Amino acid sequence: MAIMTIFIYEMKRLSRSWMTLLFAIIAPVVLIVLLGLALKDAFAIGDRELRQAEVVIYSEDDGIYFDALRQYLESGDVRPYILPVYAESLSHLEERLRIGEAHLGIVIPGDFSLAVLKGEQAEWTLYPGTGLDKNIIAQGLIQVFLERINFAEHKTGQRPSEAEGQLAARERVPVSLDSGEGQVRLDKLETFSMIQYFSVHVLIMSIFYSGLMLAVNLLYDRENHLLERLKVLPVKPFQVVLGKMLAFLVLSGLQSAIVIGLSASVFDVDWGDRPFVLALTCLLTMLIAMSLAFLVTLIVKSVGGVAAIFNTIVLISTFAAGSFYPSPGGWLEKFAKFTLNEWASSVMFSLMLRSGDAIVWKQTGVLFAAGALILLIAFSRFRSSFFRKE
Amino acid sequence: MSIIELKQVLKKYDGKTVVDHLTLHIDRGEIFGLVGPNGAGKSTTIKMISTLIPQDDGVIRVGQLDVKKDPLGVKKKIGVVPQEIAIFESLTAYENVAFFGKLYGLKGSELKRRVDEALEFAGLLDRKHAKPKTFSGGMKRRLNIACSIIHQPEVIIMDEPTVGIDPQSRNHILESVKKLNKQGTTVIYTSHYMEEVSAICNRIGIMDHGRLIAVGTQEELRERMVGQQKVIIRASPITPALIDDLRKHPKVKQVTTGELTIELLISSSQFYLQDILFILSEHQAYIHSMTVEEPDLEKLFLSLTGKSLRD
């Protein structure tokens, strides 16, 4: 009852604030429209045929996953978009990138196949080359391949010893990418356009800014002694926080619906065919943003301070996740793995690419776990002194 | 019968004692004034009674309920008017009061009736659909009060509710406090204005350094004004013999002379002015004027704390 009362009155306050209208509704709409108009002619699939991206590969691994990669790149679904070039040496790969011929470089370490089979961490190194759109497409397709071999390993669920090694693996790991129970099945391959790419990141950034608005609201109410006043009422502190969070969740939901609806209806952005999972992903991202906002207000005591810190978090994680420009790789890419933008966008891209349910649910699970962790930290740090202006 | 009881209440901040083993009781139906210089511990005391902060030691009971054991029960019995104006600027006056009413569990027609009553009490019924940003400071203060009385609490705690407002609004608030009290509400009132406290409070407590250094009715407190009654006489001639005789009087503590004035500090309220007049007459002094300064609470406060109330 108290939560609903606080929620309803918070919604009244929000609906009467021009700042809310500006930041929560108008700004994302303007951003989507501007990006849509700017990118529609240049990048939209269907408007212009995409040319092949040259992907130069240097592999020290001759195991089964290198074979699988070759098959994947030669498959009818991928070939129109990627022209594979197999480099003889690392310097050959670097030269192709340097002279601007290659759009993406991949270096596969010698123990990659074996490491994957043993369930150990295995990594490729990607080198982005010239051509923003081709680079993104090539990275997206390679990502699809990597996700699917991860999925195949996950489904077999067996971890052979090193001695069993390659022989056992060759018997059970897919040679073909399109058949068999427990094997990787490559559905009809799709890729995403620039407007899709940026729509996802505008959506995530908007959701995070809703979190900032919640943080500012909490601090405003604390600075104006409104939270302290609520504390002398027969209401539990968590009811106050949850009532407010609920209002900003609704606002953020409305904002997301506008971004998704506008981008889909005006710029034909395809958000996939699983609206429930998309809605759930948005909801989890919102919960993370709200929890993060709450956590920041527990640490920072002024509206200016919270805005500065939240902006920094949003900008750094947005940049690291490649929202402004595809990630150049290296440590930044590793760092991006720890950002919520990366995980939220991964789910959305997977939905757009119509990846398998297992991949989507795995990514959603990570998002859920991250959200739960932040919420747990926020509430564990919660003290009743939060309500008082110091 | 006590509605609020504090027994040996202790509160420390960072090792510094802010409220020092305070024992106090406030009877049902009283208007109790709590005064003290800045840092005396009165706001901390108010916050502990309001359940905003917990005491480190001792017991606080409101209407027989222990504030530590049953804070929600205590919150239902009290209404707190904070020192700061804590209202929602983007909600109308009606919505502000209704919001607090709903959080106290009121709903439906009863909520509407109570909101109208609270706004009428605050003199804001005709502005109920206006937003506080269009209100004067005094009107906001009154709305601040209306939000706290919506649930008709047994005890109203008012923490300096008249800070920074015009005399008209101040009078309105003081009259409102009396009206609330007549309806049976117990009021705890803190202020920096001794004349406000004198005007409305039945009993007054003076705090300093976390302790209650004096408590009682106004008459009881004035009784404590030993040595504070002053008699100022303009007379001539003022001779050394006259001064000597005045000094010899057992009730005169101190004599100060000017060119044409004599100031006497009297050590007892049981003092008869005839004694002074007799001495002046004996010395054939012509009396131009005579003023007796009655003891007031401001002076008592000064004598007890060594500070002015507004310091």
pLDDT of residue A163: 35
8-state DSSP, A106: E
What is the CATH architecture assignment of B2-223?
Answer: 3-Layer(aba) Sandwich (3.40)
Residues A389 and A220 sit within 8 Å (Cβ to Cβ): no
Of 2.40.10.480, 3.40.47.10, 3.90.1580.10, 3.30.70.100, which CATH number belongs to B229-294? 3.30.70.100
The answer on A243 and A382 residing in a single domain is: yes
* A317 vs A43, higher pLDDT: A317
Task: Give the pLDDT confidence of A251-283 residue by residue, as tens digits.
Answer: 999 989 999 998 888 888 888 888 999 999 999
pLDDT of residue A367: 84
The answer on A37 and A71 residing in a single domain is: no
The answer on A290 and A205 residing in a single domain is: yes
* A193 vs B265, higher pLDDT: B265
- Chain B environment of A5 (Cβ under 8 Å): 99, 102-103
Any idea what the Cα angle at residue A175 is, between residues A169 and A178, rounded to 5°? 130
Q: Which of A117-131, B13-27, B73-87, B90-104 has the lowest mean pLDDT?
A: A117-131
Interface check for A228 against chain B (CB to CB < 8 A): the answer is: yes
- Interval A18-25 mean pLDDT: 80
Q: Compute the distance between CA of residue A75 and CA of residue B272 in angstroms, rounded to an integer.
A: 119
pLDDT of residue A132: 65
The answer on A225 and A147 residing in a single domain is: no
pLDDT at position B153 over 80: yes
Q: For residue B148, give the nearest of B131, B165, B173 by alpha carbon.
A: B173
**Where, residue-wise, is CATH 3.40.50.300 in chain B?**
2-223
pLDDT of residue B26: 93
**Secondary structure element (H or E) that encloses residue B235, with its range:** strand B229-236
Q: Compute the distance between CA of residue A107 and CA of residue A126 in angstroms, rounded to an integer.
A: 7
* A351 vs A158, higher pLDDT: A351
Closest residue, chain B, to A231 (C-alpha): B52
The answer on A256 and A372 residing in a single domain is: yes
Number of domains chain A is built from: 2
Closest residue, chain A, to B49 (C-alpha): A232
* B167 vs A134, higher pLDDT: B167
**Where, residue-wise, is CATH 3.30.70.100 in chain B?**
229-294
Query: Which of B:103-162 have CB within 8 Å of A?
Result: 103-105, 147
- Chain B environment of A230 (Cβ under 8 Å): 103
Q: Compute the distance between CA of residue A256 and CA of residue A203 in angstroms, rounded to an integer.
A: 6
CATH number for A73? 3.40.1710
What's the mean pLDDT when you consider all of chain B? 87
Closest residue, chain B, to A2 (C-alpha): B103
Beta carbons of B86 and A17 less than 8 Å apart: no
Beta carbons of B72 and A234 less than 8 Å apart: yes
Q: Compute the distance between CA of residue A324 and CA of residue A309 in angstroms, rounded to an integer.
A: 20
Task: Give the pLDDT confidence of B53-66 residue by residue, as tens digits.
Answer: 899 999 999 988 99
Beta strand pairing call for B229-236 and B286-293: antiparallel
pLDDT of residue B170: 86
The answer on A292 and A382 residing in a single domain is: yes
Interface check for A309 against chain B (CB to CB < 8 A): the answer is: no
Percent of chain A residues past pLDDT 90, beyond the cut: 9
Query: Of B82, B99, B105, which is closest to A228 when you measure between CB atoms?
Result: B82
Q: Is A62 helix (H, G, I), strand (E, B) or coil?
A: coil
Domain that holds residue A308: 2-42+193-387
pLDDT of residue A1: 81
Any idea what the Cα angle at residue A174 is, between residues A168 and A180, rounded to 5°? 120
The answer on A148 and A212 residing in a single domain is: no
Beta carbons of B84 and A224 less than 8 Å apart: yes
Distances (CA, A) of A185 to A64, A169, A299, A331: 16, 17, 48, 32
